[in-house]
Chain A
Amino acid sequence: MFYREAGDFKTSYTQDSQTFPIRFDRFRYYAVLAVALAVIPFVIDDYWASALIVPFLIYAIAAIGLNILVGYCGQLSLGTGGFMAVGAYACYKLMTAFPDINIVLHIVGAGLVTAAVGVMFGLPSLRIKGFYLAVATLAAQFFLVWLFNKVPWFYNYSASGQISAPERTVAGIPVTGPNTEAWAQYLICLVFVVVLAWAARNLTRGTVGRSWMAIRDMDIAAEIIGVNPLKAKLTAFAVSSFYIGIAGALFFAVYLGAVEVGEAFGIQKSFLILFMIIIGGLGSIFGSFAGAAFLVLLPVLLKNVLVGGLGWPTDLAAHLELMIVGALIIVFLIAEPHGLAQLWRTGKEKLRLWPFPH
């Protein structure tokens, strides 16, 4: 019976508008953060890092980014893969052009470049909405992938057409390149996730977030009460692309190490991240994490059960896996259209009253 707001008095508006108004939630959050920072780095191994945790963290950043645009501002985008590619290639160009500068700055710089590109492709959103905007962003997806394949300058004229991350260090410890330890990979991604998720939460609970949601819920009314639609939509595109660009940069530099654009940042990636936020919950930061965890975890889990547990052949399991994931997504959307975040909220509501629901 710890999950109560009773007795937890708020004496200022700042306290009242905090992210976790219930004390138990706050402690849970600090506990998760402490485990993530102080325990996991010591126990993580290569398998866990590369199969589960690092992709989860990177997809979580991308999902938060897309959720800002789609879930909060209501502008449907299918260009996520393309924008991740912009982040990856911007990071690569920065890493090779300025080898002396810290990789963290390169990654942030890649985010800024992607933000600029995102704003450019966001301009049509001032005129078109919904499916038509989705088609426009789809064009961005194909155009960007084509561009990075076609113009050799982007991959420094390498013979294979791939980009591969040279070794870079943070405080003497390699975080990119073949000598990177699992825990270093994990920690750099974790730091980005924590900072970006916190900033996203702040943005979405403040003025900018309200103007995004106003545009999403009723754009005409929003404009009449004083929301500048141009500014609201373009900031959403900028912030969203910034996040997606950073996710792309981490995906390339820290996680994969070498990337071929069509393979890593194709249209499948756009859909994958869109599924993440739909399953996780549109308009929810927690939902972005939940969706990313769900779609990263599920294939691995299924593979372990089917191949490891039941001893099925790998190719059969791989095909079945696709069907099961697809079916689960459909079931999920019918059973809980507002996603995992809604389940979580309902659970918390119930918990507040437990064990006396009446």
Chain B
Amino acid sequence: MNMVSYEPFVTEDGRTIGDAVMELRNITLRFGGVVAIKDISFDIREGEIRAIIGPNGAGKSSMLNVISGFYTPSEGEVWFEGRKRPQMRPYQVARQGIARTFQNIALFSGMSTLDNIMTGRITRMKSSLAAQALWWGKAEREESEHREAVEKIIDFLEIQHIRKTPVGRLPYGLQKRVELGRALAAEPRLLLLDEPMAGMNVEEKEDMSRFILDVNDEFGTTIVLIEHDMGVVMDLSDRVVVMDYGKKIGDGPPDEVRRNQDVIDAYLGVSHD
């Protein structure tokens, strides 16, 4: 164990956030000759909402894919809960308690809302194939227990009415919500949200923001968020990483980042007055 201790960090709204859940050390990611991420380091602390922002093609989603184990970094180390993470398959990363949503909805379209969210709990399901075939003992108990947990999430996200609807038939905003539910079902230590508000109208964005804040607040889940809507990012997040062309150009609380000249030049636009 190599638990790095940090001095407590006080956010702008006066909350204190704790130790690092995850540390990314000198991550570089190459695809052939293309360098998608170049020597980036930052940490994600317990209980915070950490935003990653940057212009299109800056490498934000690649960064999220590194965290979720979908890409293995060419160089650098991922430290999770005080331990260096060995190279592992994405489903193993999920088992460690990292869940995510996708930029383009990646729900299981043939399954109902309930089944989608139940699938999110797959890392916690233990009964054997034989027990499930006979629907007996552990299999049946487990199904009911997990159903109860899933129903709590369904209540939380206010999607009771679409419980048994195949998700392929749902409107976009609700699909995004179901996808959040599926990620929450795993009760993750770290929740990764890739543009949770892309393509939403103002009302849907407000709903989604409320859910994200509530998840962070009620379940204490640490959240990493990629989002293009600046208003949302600045309001929701405790700390922001700014990327441009695969490099980190800013890191800190929203207000500090907003004043950072590099960030303004690269992302918010050079001011002309």
Name A residues whose Cβ lies closer than 8 Å to a Cβ of B.
Answer: 12-14, 16-17, 199, 202-203, 206-208, 210-211, 213-214, 216-218, 220-229, 235, 239, 283
Complex alpha-carbon distance, A242 and B139, angstroms? 21
Contacts A13-B147, A17-B147, A218-B106 given: A225-B99 contact, CB under 8 Å?
Answer: yes
B105 smallest CB distance to A (angstroms) = 9
Interface size classification for chain B: 35 or more
Complex alpha-carbon distance, A247 and B142, angstroms? 31
Determine if B143 and A210 form an interchain contact, defined as CB atoms under 8 angstroms apart: no
Determine if B107 and A226 form an interchain contact, defined as CB atoms under 8 angstroms apart: no
Closest partner residue, chain A, to B109 (CB atom): A217
Q: Which chain A positions have C-beta within 8 A of B95? A: 226
Interface-central residue, B70, B90, B148, by most chain A CB under 10 Å = B90
B75 smallest CB distance to A (angstroms) = 23
Determine if B100 and A207 form an interchain contact, defined as CB atoms under 8 angstroms apart: no
Name B residues whose Cβ lies closer than 8 Å to a Cβ of A.
Answer: 68-70, 89-91, 93-95, 99-100, 102, 106-111, 115, 118-120, 122-123, 125, 127, 129, 132-135, 139-140, 142-144, 147-148, 151, 182-183, 186
Determine if A221 and B139 form an interchain contact, defined as CB atoms under 8 angstroms apart: no
A225 smallest CB distance to B (angstroms) = 6
Determine if B122 and A226 form an interchain contact, defined as CB atoms under 8 angstroms apart: yes
Determine if B122 and A225 form an interchain contact, defined as CB atoms under 8 angstroms apart: yes
Complex alpha-carbon distance, A229 and B132, angstroms? 19
Closest partner residue, chain A, to B115 (CB atom): A210
B85 smallest CB distance to A (angstroms) = 15
Determine if B91 and A226 form an interchain contact, defined as CB atoms under 8 angstroms apart: yes
Q: Which chain A positions have C-beta within 8 A of B68? A: 224
Determine if A235 and B129 form an interchain contact, defined as CB atoms under 8 angstroms apart: yes
Determine if A225 and B183 form an interchain contact, defined as CB atoms under 8 angstroms apart: yes
Determine if B135 and A206 form an interchain contact, defined as CB atoms under 8 angstroms apart: yes
Closest partner residue, chain B, to A210 (CB atom): B119
Q: Which of A203, A208, A216, A224 contacts B94 (CB 8 A)?
A: A224
Contacts A216-B110, A217-B110, A220-B106 given: A210-B135 contact, CB under 8 Å?
Answer: no
Interface-central residue, A12, A220, A225, A228, by most chain B CB under 10 Å = A225
Complex alpha-carbon distance, A285 and B119, angstroms? 20
Determine if A210 and B129 form an interchain contact, defined as CB atoms under 8 angstroms apart: no
Q: Which chain B positions have C-beta within 8 A of A224? A: 68-70, 90-91, 93-94, 100
Complex alpha-carbon distance, A222 and B116, angstroms? 10
Complex alpha-carbon distance, A182 and B107, angstroms? 49
A152 smallest CB distance to B (angstroms) = 36
Determine if B90 and A223 form an interchain contact, defined as CB atoms under 8 angstroms apart: yes
Q: Which of B70, B111, B132, B148 contacts A206 (CB 8 A)?
A: B132
Can you list 26 A-B contacts (CB < 8 A)? A12-B144, A13-B147, A13-B151, A199-B134, A202-B132, A206-B135, A206-B143, A207-B125, A207-B139, A207-B143, A208-B129, A208-B132, A213-B115, A214-B111, A217-B109, A220-B70, A223-B89, A223-B91, A224-B69, A224-B94, A225-B122, A225-B182, A226-B94, A226-B123, A226-B186, A283-B110
Q: Chain B interface secondary structure, helix, strand, loop or mixed?
A: helix
* Beyond A202-B132, A202-B139, A210-B115, 14 extra complex contacts between A and B, CB < 8 Å: A13-B147, A17-B147, A203-B132, A206-B135, A206-B143, A207-B142, A213-B111, A214-B111, A217-B109, A217-B110, A218-B107, A221-B102, A221-B108, A283-B110
Complex alpha-carbon distance, A13 and B151, angstroms? 10
Closest partner residue, chain A, to B100 (CB atom): A224
Complex alpha-carbon distance, A65 and B222, angstroms? 43
Q: Which chain B positions have C-beta within 8 A of A239? A: 129
Complex alpha-carbon distance, A283 and B186, angstroms? 26
Q: Which of A13, A214, A216 contacts B148 (CB 8 A)?
A: A13
Interface-central residue, B106, B107, B129, B135, by most chain A CB under 10 Å = B135
B70 smallest CB distance to A (angstroms) = 6
Determine if B132 and A14 form an interchain contact, defined as CB atoms under 8 angstroms apart: no
4 tightest A-B contacts by CB?
Answer: A226-B94, A221-B106, A217-B108, A226-B123
Complex alpha-carbon distance, A318 and B132, angstroms? 45
A258 smallest CB distance to B (angstroms) = 32
Q: Which chain A positions have C-beta within 8 A of B186? A: 225-226
Q: Which chain B positions have C-beta within 8 A of A211? A: 119, 122
Closest partner residue, chain A, to B140 (CB atom): A14
Q: Which chain A positions have C-beta within 8 A of B90? A: 223-224
Q: Which chain B positions have C-beta within 8 A of A223? A: 89-91
Contacts A210-B118, A283-B110 given: A225-B94 contact, CB under 8 Å?
Answer: yes
Complex alpha-carbon distance, A214 and B94, angstroms? 15
Complex alpha-carbon distance, A312 and B62, angstroms? 69
Q: Which chain A positions have C-beta within 8 A of B182? A: 225
Interface-central residue, A12, A214, A216, A283, by most chain B CB under 10 Å = A214
Q: Which chain B positions have C-beta within 8 A of A202? A: 132-135, 139
Closest partner residue, chain A, to B145 (CB atom): A13
Q: Which chain A positions have C-beta within 8 A of B89? A: 223, 228
Contacts A202-B132, A214-B108, A224-B68 given: A207-B94 contact, CB under 8 Å?
Answer: no
Complex alpha-carbon distance, A17 and B89, angstroms? 32
Determine if B108 and A222 form an interchain contact, defined as CB atoms under 8 angstroms apart: yes
Closest partner residue, chain B, to A224 (CB atom): B90
Determine if A199 and B140 form an interchain contact, defined as CB atoms under 8 angstroms apart: no
Determine if B133 and A199 form an interchain contact, defined as CB atoms under 8 angstroms apart: yes
Closest partner residue, chain A, to B70 (CB atom): A224
Complex alpha-carbon distance, A223 and B123, angstroms? 11
Complex alpha-carbon distance, A63 and B211, angstroms? 44
Determine if B144 and A14 form an interchain contact, defined as CB atoms under 8 angstroms apart: yes
Closest partner residue, chain B, to A208 (CB atom): B132
Q: Which chain B positions have C-beta within 8 A of A221? A: 102, 106-108
Closest partner residue, chain A, to B141 (CB atom): A14
Determine if A218 and B132 form an interchain contact, defined as CB atoms under 8 angstroms apart: no
